[in-house]
Amino acid sequence: MRRWPSKSTLWRKRPYSRCGSDTGKGRSSTASINRNAAVHAPIASADQARVIAAILANPAPHDRQIYPLYGPEELDHHAIAQKMSQALGIPVRYEPVDIPSFAAAMRAQGASAFLAQYLSNVARDYQNSGVFAGTNNLVETIGGTPPMTVEQYTTATRTSFESQGQYAAWASVA
């Protein structure tokens, strides 16, 4: 049996919130779930991938380490929407909804009951515990590149916001 040189390394994934992808040309975007005044430092999957690749390329220094990964700045969802709006050049707003409505919309879009339940629990943790709050320099230190800002992420994934996306599904449960 072949064993990896590193016994274990854990990175704590922080979701990169996409304040909503229900934009169409000339249509404003609306975000999804009521997260009160909670903040987090959104991190792009590409930033996480660079950290993971660096750990796999040189596992020894990371043995038995736990790495909470964060983006470059803590933001609430209103600030994320504002930054996305600036990057896209269209109105983007954050509009809170309650967790049961969020889960119903996910199910209407074809998400499994398991995924809807899981993301509902993540949202509860986000609202109540501050579990996603914080920043650090681990993405740059381990991955070799500073984490993307919300503006950089939005610009890099601009085509994701050029369709009606979730708009029809949200309208069906509204």
Mention every residue, 6+ apart, whose C-beta is less than 8 A from residue 153.
16, 42, 44
CA dihedral 37, 38, 44, 48 (to 10 degrees): 170
Of residues 63 and 19, the one with the higher pLDDT is: 63
Query: What tens digit of pLDDT does each residue of 36-86 get?
Result: 568 999 999 999 999 999 999 999 999 999 999 999 999 999 999 999 999
9-97+131-158 carries CATH number 3.40.50.720: yes
Of residues 169 and 120, the one with the higher pLDDT is: 120
Mention every residue, 6+ apart, whose C-beta is less than 8 A from residue 139.
43, 47, 48, 50, 51, 69, 70, 71, 145, 146, 147
Query: What tens digit of pLDDT does each residue of 142-164 get?
Result: 999 999 999 999 999 998 887 76
Please provide the average confidence, as pLDDT, over all residues in the chain: 80
Of the pLDDT bands very low, low, confident and very high (cuts 50, 70, 90), residue 28 is very low
Locate tokens 């896209």: which residue? Answer: 88
Please state at what angle helix 113-129 crosses helix 99-108, rounded to 10 degrees. Answer: 150
Going from N- to C-terminal start, the domains of the chain cover: 9-97+131-158
Whether residue 82 contacts residue 15, with contact meaning beta carbons closer than 8 Å, is answered with no
Of the pLDDT bands very low, low, confident and very high (cuts 50, 70, 90), residue 20 is very low
In DSSP terms, 11 is beta-bridged to 67
What one-letter code names the amino acid at 112?
Answer: S
* pLDDT over threshold 80, residue 90: yes
